[in-house]
A and B are shown apart, each in its own frame.
Chain A
Amino acid sequence: MNPTEAIATTEASGDTVPSPWVVRAAWRELSDTTSLEIAPADGSTPRFQPGQFSMLYMPGIGDIPVSVSAYSDDGKALVHTVREVGAVSAALCAMKAGDWLGVRGPFGNGWPVDAAADRDLIVIAGGLGLAPVRPAIQQAIDDSGRGGKTVVFYGSRSPSALLFRDDLLQWAVSGVAEVRTTVDRAEPGWRGNVGLVTSILDRAAFDAESAVAFVCGPEVMMRFAVFDLLSRGLSADRIFLSLERNMHCGIGLCGHCQLGPKFICTDGPVFPYSEISDLLTVRGL
């Protein structure tokens, strides 16, 4: 799908007024994290680009931006993965199949998966940051004509907080991607890596001269990851970050998500590091 088609679709489905969607399935990913498979109530087929987000609205409570984490298997619904941290997200995490909610979007740009068509794709994700980048990984894997390899580095708080474990395992076992995980804190019996996600980047083999990197997670983590990627020889215009700010309107009007001259909701959320490097170190932005 090209961006024009996406914009046309989102305008038709309601950029400013939530459209009714229905929960087809809901399941716990982690103790505090739930995935919702939701579909437009009018039966239309939803479209999105990997990296875009929706505004999920709970009547009487509010709305929050949530990235699309997958297509449903039949392509007729979108999966959003929500961590329970406040009133809206708690209400979303309590939803069950058959419940209704309001949806605006999807908004924003997406990951430039095509830019990695014949290059190594390096994905560095931390915590819930794996959710927005999972569809991009899947798209890259599904592209049988791709020349480069896909390498996924994923860090989480603990072994029990590793998200999408089935996907990580399936990608690794089937050989469609190299997957390396690490945790900040080990639990009894854990024999995997312990350390910051950048610590497992050090010895990884990839073609830094041409590789494209997608980085998604807490901003502090992303800054350190970028520092390491630049040290490895990746150029700033081939490192892409998904930024998160206080998104409200989703269409560049309210200014809540403004980062200097950029609106995260419309200019982003995905930016090449070369465009935003100066902004990330400005205090208060």
Chain B
Amino acid sequence: MLRDLGATLASHPFFEQFEPQHVDFLVSCSANRVFQTDEFLFREGATADAFYLVREGKVAIETVSPSAGPLTLATVGRGDVLGWSWIVPPFVHRSDCRALERTRTVAIDAACLRDKLESDHELGYRVLTKVVEIMARRISSARIQLLDLYGNEPD
């Protein structure tokens, strides 16, 4: 069972450049979790108790406006990861995450993961480098979305 989970972790794009021993080291923190359509992976304000690797499905990252209701900020899917609040104090989610379709994930326990990264700084460096790479891409995308590039330009 754990060997299967190790293979699943190793095959996820997040870990594709990682050494096998580093992936194996994280297996004991990990578990498969499946979310049904419209089920929340987590809610804004909740403790960030897991780092999710999306294996299949689609998840909406949302926030709620009193006047407009839920607003989708972005969606992620197969091969993506969800949440970095697990590594940023005070470890509280800043958005809702809701499955738009049946979604299979690997959930890595946040406290366990932080302990592992603290005990193996090389692994910690690799995980943080990868998380920062993803954060940079998402921030860059968000900036371009803010430009409203598809708006009108005069003749």
A62-B15 Cα distance, complex, nearest whole Å: 57
A258-B58 Cα distance, complex, nearest whole Å: 44
Check A52 for interface membership: any CB of B closer than 8 A. no
Inter-chain contact A85/B154, CB cutoff 8 Å: yes
Set of chain A residues within 8 Å of B144, measured between Cβ atoms: 196, 220-221, 224
Contact residue among A87, A191, A202, A220 (Cβ-Cβ distance under 8 Å from B155): A87
Inter-chain contact A64/B74, CB cutoff 8 Å: no
Check A89 for interface membership: any CB of B closer than 8 A. yes
Known A126-B149, A220-B147; contact A194-B155, beta-carbon cutoff 8 A: no
- Could you mark each residue 41-54 of chain A with 1 if its beta carbon is under 8 Å from any beta carbon of chain B, else 0? 00000000000000
Set of chain A residues within 8 Å of B13, measured between Cβ atoms: 203
Check A157 for interface membership: any CB of B closer than 8 A. yes
Known A191-B100, A195-B74, A196-B141; contact A85-B152, beta-carbon cutoff 8 A: yes
Number of residues from B at the complex interface, CB < 8 A: 29
Set of chain B residues within 8 Å of A84, measured between Cβ atoms: 152
Interface residues of B in 56-91 (CB under 8 A from A): 58, 60, 69, 71-75, 77-80
Inter-chain contact B148/A157, CB cutoff 8 Å: yes
Known A203-B78, A220-B147; contact A194-B72, beta-carbon cutoff 8 A: yes
Which residue in chain A gives the minimum CB-CB distance to B146? A184
A88-B153 Cα distance, complex, nearest whole Å: 13
Check A146 for interface membership: any CB of B closer than 8 A. no
Number of residues from A at the complex interface, CB < 8 A: 38
A185-B73 Cα distance, complex, nearest whole Å: 7
Inter-chain contact A199/B141, CB cutoff 8 Å: yes
Check A161 for interface membership: any CB of B closer than 8 A. yes
Check A218 for interface membership: any CB of B closer than 8 A. yes
Interface residues of A in 48-80 (CB under 8 A from B): 62, 64
Check B145 for interface membership: any CB of A closer than 8 A. yes
Q: How far is the CB of B30 from chain A (nearest CB, A)?
A: 21
- Could you mark each residue 108-127 of chain A with 1 if its beta carbon is under 8 Å from any beta carbon of chain B, else 0? 00000000000000000011
A86-B153 Cα distance, complex, nearest whole Å: 8
Interface residues of A (CB under 8 A from B): 32, 62, 64, 83-89, 126-128, 155-157, 161, 182, 184-186, 188, 190-196, 198-199, 202-203, 217-218, 220-221, 224
Known: A194-B72, A194-B73, A199-B137. 8 other contacts (CB 8 A): A126-B150, A156-B150, A182-B75, A188-B69, A194-B60, A194-B74, A198-B141, A221-B144
9 sampled A-B residue pairs with Cβ under 8 A: A85-B154, A127-B149, A157-B148, A196-B144, A198-B141, A199-B141, A218-B149, A220-B144, A220-B147
Interface residues of B (CB under 8 A from A): 13, 58, 60, 69, 71-75, 77-80, 100-101, 137, 140-141, 144-145, 147-155
Q: Which 5 A-B pairs have the closest CB atoms?
A: A86-B155, A127-B150, A186-B72, A196-B141, A218-B149
